Amino acid sequence: MPGSALLSLQQELRRGFEALKAAKDTFDGGHAECQELVSSLGNLAPQLKALKQVQISETPLSGFPCLQQRLHYKLSLAVDALLAKLAEKMAALQKVWDAFAQQVFTVVQLYEKNTDALDISVCVSRSAVCPSVSDMLEWLQDADRYYRLQLMQSRLLLQTLTPTDLTSMETAPNRWRSVRSARQEERIADALCQVSIFLETE
Amino acid sequence: MSQSTTPQKGNLTGSARKLKDDAADWHNLTLRWERLNDEGSATATNIVNLGLNKKSHAESEVVMEGGSLSSGDLSENLTKSNQELEEECGKLKDVVDKMANIVSKMEKMVQAERGICELEAFQFGEKGRPEPLFHSWPTKQFAEVSSQLYESYKQELALKKTILQELAHTANADLSMVYLSSWLYQPYIEDSGKLLLESLLLETGHRPL
């Protein structure tokens, strides 16, 4: 029954794009929020560096007991607090991506199960209101791959950040920005535009 | 801030009333301190930035010495930035003065609470009253907590006074940065102080148990 196989595949594709929409919103917001936190980390690095370089005993602050250690402790606490917040945000992103990835897996599995019933000409045919099944599968899989890569790169970046490696902390804001690819973001936004009518027709 | 703003709940009188009001004052004063700290931090950052600008102006003036065309503009700029620097320093001084005011209020509370302890020793002997005034703290503990909090704010105020004096005069960028982070991160106000304050509020019934 090629008709019903196509219909149920389209239904799963709709769910996939709904999940993509949710993932995109969360990733867009989450990335901007994390950017702010990473910038704060970037600001702490020069403060820790300056503290290392200054000989407190030779400054007007020499009379203050354990100032260097106390300030270093406070700055390290600030670093830890930011890293903890970042870890929390990453966990939220991971959760949304998991849901999306699961849906992509379901769609692909359904497609593979029904390859016999779905003629290639059916899969590549498209209309003004409905993109082809093959295009839609490709968009979902590309988005899935892109978000997975983004998550991995973000995680890797965060793992390198410790209060002892000040240079990597200082360059973190710029590296964080480059985790996102403008081209891929545009492709995802385009794909969502192209399926907008398809999503409305049940 | 004053005791009259503390809602009169129940029929606490005497030492208990005074200690409960003091606990509320501690809460209000530390909040006010934090607000002033943020305000001062922004001003201190401005001072450092103006100082850096001034330095770069002075350097460019040396370069431009030969040509008389723009040196007038430069000195005008310098006067303007000096004025701004003075204004910002005035603002920071206001903040430090207000903080000093807070610390002197804290000192008075510590003295009053020591007085309460002495009164209790007079009334009940060295062992103090048989029943605690609130949940579990002996009266001495209130004086100890207040005095501990007061010492940390006193030290922090001394640090801020030094920063105020030195900030506009330092040419060392690293030292300026240390001044700024010392101002913002307040090395002498420990997290344990927050815990002490919260337990004081719990004990006196300002926070529900």
Q: Show the domain range for A57.
A: 2-200
For B205: left if phi > 0, alpha if psi spans -120 to 50, otherwise beta; the answer is left
* Domain ranges (residues) in chain B: 13-42+88-203
| pLDDT number for residue B10 | 62
Which chain A residues have a beta carbon less than 8 Å from that of B188? 64, 70
The answer on pLDDT for A181 being more than 50 is: yes
| pLDDT number for residue B76 | 79
Task: Report the residue of chain B nearest A55, measured CA to CA.
Answer: B175
| pLDDT number for residue B6 | 43
| pLDDT number for residue B156 | 98
CB contact under 8 A, A74 and B162: no
Tally the domains of chain A: 1
Banded pLDDT at A117 (limits 50, 70, 90) = confident
| pLDDT number for residue B8 | 43
Which chain B residues have a beta carbon less than 8 Å from that of A71? 178, 181-182, 185, 187
For B148-204, write each residue's pLDDT tens digit.
999 999 999 999 999 999 999 998 999 999 999 999 999 999 999 999 999 999 999
Which chain B residues have a beta carbon less than 8 Å from that of A70? 187-188
For A64-93, write each residue's pLDDT tens digit.
999 999 999 999 999 999 999 999 999 999
What is chain A's mean pLDDT, rounded? 93
Q: ipTM beyond 0.90?
A: no
Query: pLDDT higher for B171 or A101?
Result: A101
